[in-house]
Amino acid sequence: MTRIALPATGGCACGAVRYEVREQPLTLYACHCTDCQVQSGSAFALSMFVKRAAIEVTAGETRAWRRRAASGRMMNCVFCPACGTRLWNEPDRAPEMAVLKPGTLDDARSLRPVGHIWTGSAQRWFEFPPGTVLHEGQPPDLSQLVGAWQEQE
């Protein structure tokens, strides 16, 4: 599914921060970089590209910390200061976009990633679904992932 009911609501684990997404995402993919593995405590992390202006914090306050990604690019990581839940990232390379962590949405059950990036550092046991976009590292741009997302509509 590529369309989400708007506004889509979400928040942190402790409930101190709540937010709404007010526009459709551009794409959804799984990132297998080692940074995402550490941050998620799992084999990969899901990433949903949305416009920053489409995210509105409706309760609580967020904090951000700066970090350098495995790709070498800088970003702000936005999180709940009470429980530490990462809500989204704000990459310097795309100042109008945010990389929302869709697991923080209230209902993400129908979402399916259209691709996988940083497959070169994926866990050996993971099998990539047929027909998905694959990138061994950081893609030069997201056009292929955005196109695959739009094709599902």
User: Coil, strand, or helix at residue 52?
Assistant: helix
Tens digit of each residue's pLDDT (9 = 90 or more) over 59-94 = 999 999 999 887 788 999 999 999 999 999 999 989
Closest CA to 138 of 66, 52, 68, 64: 68
Place 152 in a pLDDT band, splitting at 50, 70 and 90.
Answer: confident
Check residue 2 and give its pLDDT: 64
pLDDT of residue 72: 82
List Cβ neighbours of 68 (8 Å cut-off, separation of 6 or more). 74
Query: Would you state the torsion angle of the CA atoms of residues 97, 98, 99, 100, taken in this order, to the nearest 10 degrees?
Result: -140
pLDDT tens, 15-26? Answer: 999 999 999 999
Residue 5: what pLDDT? Answer: 87
Mean pLDDT of all residues in 6-23: 97
Q: What is the pTM of this model?
A: 0.88
Boundaries of every domain in the chain: 8-151
Class of the domain covering 8-151: alpha beta
Sheet holding 27-31, edge to edge: 63-68, 74-79, 86-91, 97-100, 45-51, 27-31, 115-117, 133-134
Q: What is the mean pLDDT of the chain?
A: 93
- Judge whether 58 and 19 are in contact, CB under 8 Å: yes
Return the pLDDT at 7: 93
Q: What are phi and psi of 144, to 5 degrees?
A: -65, -40
